Structure 1
């Protein structure tokens, strides 16, 4: 509230705009019906490039992670990425199975220098595609924010369902606690956590 006295409605609240814009671009370029159509046409590279271009509109993941993704979608990697991402976002199965299959798909991508399976890479596309249900995780910021707020966060450095489920529970608890400020979705929750835990907003 020190930085944004009117909360999420503050006119200077800059954390939401570019993330929501990226989500809108996602709906236009990779909404479920479009995504499914591109898969049927086996346009795997086009799917992967669209996803990376949309993510590129944000500053959510580090440059070395962007490079690892670009390397990973070359050749057969594009098909692995496209099919894995569609299954994660729109496939059948429990949330746990879909998440774990997505982690496995990322782990199967070709790798040059930097690993692809990091928390930011694993969670950024779900967050941009479905901010009503998926949370973006920057590990150090998330851990600091949870500590400051006195919330439980069962963290492990390698992406896994237990940690992600813990993060979603934390986000759900936080949304209830912040209900008077009327957070709209996970974008507002993630942004709140960012303000609490990042060096960009010193306490």
Structure 2
């Protein structure tokens, strides 16, 4: 993707640019400048979009988001925000809360790419360093290129747990939610056992409370 990074913090801007370039993206960076000149630098960079269109812009202020939304409304936007960030006047296509990892950043950029290609953001679920590719039924952890080696049932169980968003899910709910083939309690228990081993090797935890489970 061709990306514009308009982030005011020098260290954050350089870190983001480096991560994106190492992943193979073409990045134009608005250099963090002296107070009062950053906004005009963003405007100048967006004017160049007419000759070589950006696929997405990454910003960390509502002001830069507003500029991008008004000048290039066709370009996807990713807003980097903190819990105390004011609500932007213009809605971004996606919001990534700081702090975040390189994996999260790349997953969100991939999500914007899919949205631009008509696949939609709903084809992915991102939970920290864990990414589920719903369209291709693959799970990634700390990587956007190497899928975890999961069986069909292990993936179905993981997807159900991730969609619960931190809530404990019992065996009965898992059985109801996993369709397409017969999955008895014994099969689900076996899948939970093998999934737990694989998640722990990846650095994730499968928590248990009685016969209920959740992914953290």
Specify if TM > 0.5.
Answer: no
Quick one: higher RCO (CA 8 Å, sep 6+), 1 or 2?
1
Q: Which is higher, the Rg of structure 1 or of structure 2?
A: 2
TM (normalized to structure 2)?
Answer: 0.28
Bigger share in helix: 1
TM (normalized to structure 1)?
Answer: 0.29
Bigger share in strand: 2
